[in-house]
């Protein structure tokens, strides 16, 4: 089921497992000026998803927003062969099975430049996550930069989260995300760039979204960069 964040912005959460762990996953859809859909982080393609997307508009542009969120790209491309697929820097070489049209950068593509802003997080070349901003709804769109898990999962799932360095019931980067930070000064500069944007809500790739006071939540989540 779609959650309509604002006119022209939707979120669809689906169950998702990695190595048996329930972490969920979210697809984010934005309607572009021409009526087509901008999709961030594809999820498994089902008949239900096809029907839901077709009710919103044609799929035009599909984002692979970092080098790790690549599990559903092939099936999404088979389902939407006419869509343009955009890769995080380095992903095209990592994933030759997907036909990418463009490589994402800090500059928005003309197709969505009037609707979305974007930033390539520095200092994390093994992840190279692109963060997006939907100014009309004051919404920041993350993928793996930070999670917000530990609310609805079974106890054993939460126990493994703790062992894996995934914070429970707290919006924060995982141990894995922190291990990707090769240049803390560059990551800190990117954080300052994001905090300069006007946003209140944060949509995450995994877990619960931050519905309000997102800027303070982001600042708290990455306070360790200033220690």
Q: What is the pTM of this model?
A: 0.94
Dump pLDDT digits (tens) for 16-42.
777 667 777 999 999 999 999 999 999
Dump pLDDT digits (tens) for 115-124.
999 999 999 9
Is the CATH number 3.60.15.10 carried by domain 2-226? yes
DSSP the chain: -EEEEETTEEEEEE--EETTEE--EEEEEEE-TTS-EEEES-----HHHHHHHHHH--EEEEEE-SSS--TTHHHHHHH-TTSEEEE-TTHHHH-TTS--SEE--SSPPTTTTTT-EEEEPTT-TTT-PEEEEEGGGTEEE-SSS-BBB-SSS-HHHHHHHHHTT--BSS-B--HHHHHT-S-HHHHHHHHHHHHTS--SEEE-SSB--B-S-HHHHHHHHTGGGG-
Per-residue pLDDT of the chain (227 residues; tens, 9 = 90+): 789 999 999 999 988 777 667 777 999 999 999 999 999 999 999 999 999 999 999 999 999 999 998 889 999 999 999 999 999 999 999 999 999 999 999 999 999 999 999 999 999 999 999 999 999 999 999 999 999 986 777 777 777 677 677 777 789 999 989 999 999 999 999 999 999 999 999 999 988 999 999 999 999 999 999 98
Per-domain residue ranges of the chain:
2-226
């Amino acid at each position: 089921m779609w959650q309509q964040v604002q006119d022209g912005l939707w979120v669809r959460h689906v169950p998702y497992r990695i190595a048996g762990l329930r972490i969920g996953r979210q697809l984010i859809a934005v309607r572009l000026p021409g009526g087509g859909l901008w999709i961030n982080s594809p999820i498994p393609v089902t008949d239900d998803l096809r029907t839901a997307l077709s009710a919103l508009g044609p799929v035009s542009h599909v984002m692979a927003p970092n080098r790790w969120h690549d599990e559903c790209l092939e099936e999404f491309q088979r389902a939407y062969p006419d869509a343009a697929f955009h890769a995080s820097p380095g992903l095209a070489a990592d994933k030759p099975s997907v036909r990418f049209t463009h490589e994402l950068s800090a500059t928005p593509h003309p197709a969505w430049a009037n609707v979305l802003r974007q930033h390539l997080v520095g200092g994390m070349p093994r992840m190279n996550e692109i963060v997006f901003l939907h100014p009309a709804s004051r919404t920041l769109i993350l993928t793996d930069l930070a999670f917000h898990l530990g609310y609805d999962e079974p106890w054993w799932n939460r126990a493994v989260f703790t062992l894996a360095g995934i914070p429970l019931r707290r919006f924060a980067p995982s141990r894995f995300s922190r291990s990707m930070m090769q240049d803390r000064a560059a990551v800190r500069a990117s954080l300052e760039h994001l905090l300069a944007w006007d946003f209140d809500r944060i949509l995450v790739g995994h877990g619960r979204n931050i519905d309000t006071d997102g800027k303070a939540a982001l600042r708290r989540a990455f306070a360790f960069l200033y220690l």
